Structure 1
Amino acid sequence: MSSPCDPSHAPVGDVGAALMMVDSRLKSIHGGDVHTDPEQQELTDRFVASLSPEGAAAVLDGACTLILLFMEWLRGAYAEHGMDPIEGVLPNLVATLRMMPVSIRPEAIPTMAGLVVAAGTGLSPGLWRAQYGRWTKDEMTPLEATAFLLAEHINRLTDDPGFATRMIADTLSASDRD
């Protein structure tokens, strides 16, 4: 029997916009700037402010799709070594989120952990979250951080600072060709 949280029932959303936001963060970190470049942050803030409610929902769905795709890749990578991806990803993710108390409220961390577990078991993170009600404003930054941290985890595993975003961009390009 199919789960109501099966990814085939989930909207894909605006994966390109979500990927752009994650890639921007990755580039600012790997550019040596631990803090966000003010110009880049202003551009991101203006982009987000320009979104209609439907556009914002599409980016939110796109971020959930990114989390699902990143966890699918991690599932395969960890399986090749006989390891559990949740065990390999979740402790570091939670510990890192806990180190950001100014940006990440503690009560959002269990939700982000749940999203990653849902994606790690093949469920749609967005549909999993929807069963508990509407997204809150306090969950937006943790959601972005979760997608970023999963991308960074993939990049560290591959020893390639652009691998995760390139993998998704290549997938998007291939789907456009089909």
Structure 2
Amino acid sequence: MYSPCGPEYAPAGDVSAALMVLDSRLKSVYDGPLETDPEQQQLVDQFIASLGPSQADDVVDGACTLVYMFMQWLRMAYEREGRDVIEYVVPSFVASLRMMPKSVPAEAIPTMTGLVVAAGTGLSPSLWRKQYGDWTSDEMNPLEATALLLAEHINRIVDDRAFATRMVADALSATDGDRD
């Protein structure tokens, strides 16, 4: 069925940059703030600060691509067990967002939930969000938290802290190989 929010119409964005930020955040969650490599964190912070508006938009699109990829992986994993991805991901996702009031204001939770549901039903999170206007600066932390929570959900399922980021990195490597 045709949808103007289909992933085939969405820009992939800078998935590599979004993945780098996500990987850094996941490591800080798993290792704790005291164990996080301060040099690595400084590099990520400098990178983010160096982005111009169009580059920042590309990273946001890249984060949406990560959300889409993670939800598609989760959908396939839950369908293999005869379960619905929305039923098994969204409630815990919303509960986790609600426990992050400093990073995720309550008013951003419906948007991030809609983003996850859109991705879980095969729509582009980026295009789904765009139909409601431009991204706001207040939605950047919630978007990052959304990608992080989905990656962590995947990592818990497979009991491997690096699985979600490795899966995306492998997919990126495969597409780079296709270009050669």
Partner of 1:118: 118
**Contact conserved, 2:24 with 2:41, CA < 8 A, in 1?**
no
- Higher mean Cα deviation, 32-41 or 110-119? 32-41
Ranges of 4+ aligned residues in structure 1 off by more than 2 Å: 32-45
Q: Which letter maps to 2:71?
A: M
1:103 CA displacement:
1.4
Does 2:68 match 1:68?
Answer: yes
Q: Deviations over 1:74-107 (max 9, x none)?
A: 0000000000111111111111111111111110
The match for 2:133 is 133
Asked if 1:44 corresponds to 2:44, the answer is yes
Number of the residue aligned with 1:143:
143
> What percent identity do the matched residue pairs reach?
67
- CA–CA separation in structure 2 for the residues paired with 1:77 and 1:134: 32
CA contact (8 A) 1:74 1:154 kept: yes
**Which residue is equivalent to 1:88?**
88
Task: Give the gaps of 5 or more residues in structure 1.
Answer: none
Q: TM-score, normalised by structure 1?
A: 0.95
SS of the aligned residue for 2:160 comes to coil
User: 1:102 aligns to what SS in structure 2?
Assistant: coil
Deviation at 1:37, TM superposition (A): 6.1
Give the alignment of 1:159-178 within 5 angstroms.
Answer: 159-178=159-178
TM superposition shift of 1:44: 2.4
Q: Contact 1:25/1:36 (CA < 8 Å) preserved in 2?
A: no
Deviation at 1:159, TM superposition (A): 0.5
Tell me the C-alpha RMSD between the 2 structures.
Answer: 1.5
Aligned length: 178
